[in-house]
Amino acid sequence: MGFIKGESIGEAYFKAYKAILDAKSPHWYLMVHISRPILDNSMKISSLDVTDWLKVINVEKRIYDAFINFKFSKKDEWTGGYSGKDWINGRIQDLLNEQGYYKKSLTEEFSLDQIQEVEKRLSARDKNGKKMHGGSTNAMVCILFSPTKDLKAACRPCPRAEGVKSLTQSISNQ
């Protein structure tokens, strides 16, 4: 299996999860191509509540509905709630809030300036001056976890490859 295709984020996530469960994927990592992750880029998101994002981001309703109604055993630090919706809203708040880990990690407040790292990779050249393929691409890492069994593992730094700098590793190393 080279990669998984999905029109929406939800469809691709579900296919990736199924490929791992059915042992059709030889690895615990997959390349996923989402052909239509954004529904409408002309719309403005009016709040930090995930409900307002659904007209813009193509998540697929059945996947979204299943996740928002799931009850986690641990509460989200930002919202104080236990539902999947609380966790999504917590991640959005953490991403956009000045005091959030994501925001702090995008600057030099932690050991790695994430923006500078991305800019450096995007301009990387090989010894002949040719643009490096790996340095000219960008990707989002998605790791699949069972919310009932793997909550602890889901909170660990990703990717778990030594020498690969990541936003979550720079946070957890503090």
Q: DSSP letter for 52, please.
A: G
164 dihedral zone (left: phi>0; alpha: psi -120 to 50; beta): beta
Q: Is the pLDDT of residue 114 over 90?
A: no
- Tell which wins on pLDDT, 4 or 141: 4
User: In a 10 Å sphere around its CB, with 0-12 CB exposed, 13-18 middle and 19+ buried, how is residue 170 labelled?
Assistant: buried
Q: Is the pLDDT of residue 149 over 90?
A: no
Question: How many angstroms separate the CA atoms of 92 and 95, rounded?
Answer: 5
Q: DSSP letter for 7, please.
A: S
Q: Is the pLDDT of residue 148 over 80?
A: no
Q: Is the pLDDT of residue 151 over 70?
A: no
Please indicate, yes or no, whether the overall pTM of this predicted structure exceeds 0.85: no
Q: Where are the domains of the chain?
A: 99-174
- Residues in CB range of 97: below 8 A, 6 or more apart: 78, 103
Range of 84-98, 99-113, 134-148 with top mean pLDDT: 84-98
Q: What is the pLDDT of residue 42?
A: 82
Name the residue among 63, 56, 85, 57 with its Cα closest to residue 16: 63
